[in-house]
Structure 1
Amino acid sequence: MYREKLAEYGLAISDEKNREVAHWEHYYWARSPELMQDSAKFDVDSEAFWSHYSRTRLEKMGAMPEEIEEFRLKIDAYFANEYAPKNRVPPDIHRILPELRATGFILAVLSNRRTSFMDIIEELSLDGYFDAVMAAGEVGAWKPDPKVFTPLLERFNLSPKETVYIGDNYFSDVVGARNAGITPILYDPRGIFPDADVARITSFEALGELL
């Protein structure tokens, strides 16, 4: 939607550039030095932080310096006033999760969110599938910090070698799992990390070949 709206406003973004920017976004939000620097400069919940982030993203997308503020004001206004965000999961997930549970897997969700997101799990009708749902903010550590995985490992008395972590961000999920000694699988349906040095799937249908 972001890309489509920018095209309406006059900024066309190629598929290659779109993947490059998505790659940068994944890097940025994985506790990157740039995020830490921006967080120290701005309150992350402030308009100033998000305006700065929007300008940076537009620059990465190829907007000319003299165009950035005009595009930012338009796109920010659209998402603030017209866009209605909706939580979604891949269509195959409601078939795969029951199969994994029936096989005997312990299933948990670990997100880099700051607060509990159980309401979203329930909204998506996923609450019957998981043995635990945890936000990094509840732990006080954030992926890729390996400490974020410790509470779940201890809760189920599992060693890292017995555990697999599936995530869609190479920089937080794959690096974080490896930091903790856990086997990672990268979910990459958009092809953002085509050359990643890790087991990679583009749909959850492929999980059966890896587990």
Structure 2
Amino acid sequence: MSSELRRWNRCYQKKERYYAIRPAKSAKAGLDGSATEEYEAARFKMVGMPHAAKAIFFDVGNTLLFPDRERIYAPLYKHNVVPTPELLRSIECRTKAAFDALLQQGGAADHGFWYMFYSNLFEELGLQQDGLRDSLVTATRVSANWGAMRPGTREILQRIGKRSRIGVISNSDGKIAALLERHGIADCFLNMTDSGLVGREKPHPAIFHAALRTMNVAPEESLYVGDLYSVDYLGATGVGMQAILFDVCGAYREMDLPRVESLEELEQKLSS
């Protein structure tokens, strides 16, 4: 294991402790140990689910669009390596925990996440081909390779857009507007702020301020929805915005912060 990967793993162990909360009391759990609906509702109230916002901004990657695995993982498939969805989910959760800890210690910006992700994946698979890993990192950074969109996304965005102005804040390659246009959802947004055009990546305050200025809305009147705690949640709240974690893989289930696991759940929470 490389010294860099050992550092990430130490950060992961530290972040596990950071995320840990006291064991749930019986009142919090069902017979199978899962959280009850009553507890989940109370938890949202307890942590202060964001109030109605004049403007709602969305991350794109792992929030609105997801990786096209057939395209990105093609080099792996050529080596007869096919990671299971369960393994990829586990690696994503592990990497988010370690990356959050690393970034808060002054580590790399958002795109460094994918180098860490594939390093962890290759470690798990027992692969030592740095060139192959680097090709996967490069492919994942190309916005055109984020081609998976969940059914109902456009309809939900349209309904949310009837109540609030909605926009995008994304760390991308300057082509996020074209990507959203290709997937038929660009017209849902009044503003699309792309780090490739702004010149600053989340969590830097400049990209959030640029989006707020374009939308002509104050930070406290705005809500940001994104999937990375250190990049999206802390970046947004750091400039005074409200924020919700979009936690599809369940990496942040133990954190008492506003979070949802689908757009359907987000719409429900915003309507309640």
* Partner residue of 1:88 out of 148, 153, 158: 148
How many angstroms does 1:56 deviate by? 3.0
How many angstroms does 1:114 deviate by? 3.5
SS in structure 2 opposite 1:35? coil
State the alpha-carbon separation in 2 of the partners of residues 162 and 205 from structure 1. Answer: 22
SS in structure 2 opposite 1:166? strand
Q: Using the aligned pairs only, state the percent identity.
A: 22
Which aligned pairs between 1:45-194 and structure 2 lie closer than 5 A?
56-58=119-121, 60-61=123-124, 63=126, 67-69=127-129, 72=130, 85=145, 87-103=147-163, 105-194=164-253
Contact 1:161–1:181 under 8 Å retained in 2: yes
**What one-letter code is carried by the residue in structure 2 that aligns with 1:35?**
A
How many angstroms does 1:93 deviate by? 1.2
How many angstroms does 1:11 deviate by? 8.2
State the alpha-carbon separation in 2 of the partners of residues 162 and 86 from structure 1. Answer: 30
Calculate the aligned-residue CA RMSD, in Å. 3.9
How many angstroms does 1:146 deviate by? 1.7
TM-score of the superposed pair, with normalisation by structure 2: 0.56
**What one-letter code is carried by the residue in structure 2 that aligns with 1:129?**
C
**Bigger relative CO (Cα 8 Å, ≥ 6 apart):** 2
Contact 1:185–1:200 under 8 Å retained in 2: yes
For the structure 1 residues 96 and 20, does the alpha-carbon distance in structure 2 shift closer, same or farther, using more than 3 Å as the test? closer
Residue number in structure 2 paired with 1:45: none
Contact 1:17–1:61 under 8 Å retained in 2: no
State the alpha-carbon separation in 2 of the partners of residues 15 and 186 from structure 1. Answer: 19
The answer for unaligned runs of 5 or more in structure 1 is: 40-49
Residue number in structure 2 paired with 1:23: 96
**Aligned length, in residue pairs:** 190
How many angstroms does 1:57 deviate by? 3.1
How many angstroms does 1:10 deviate by? 9.2
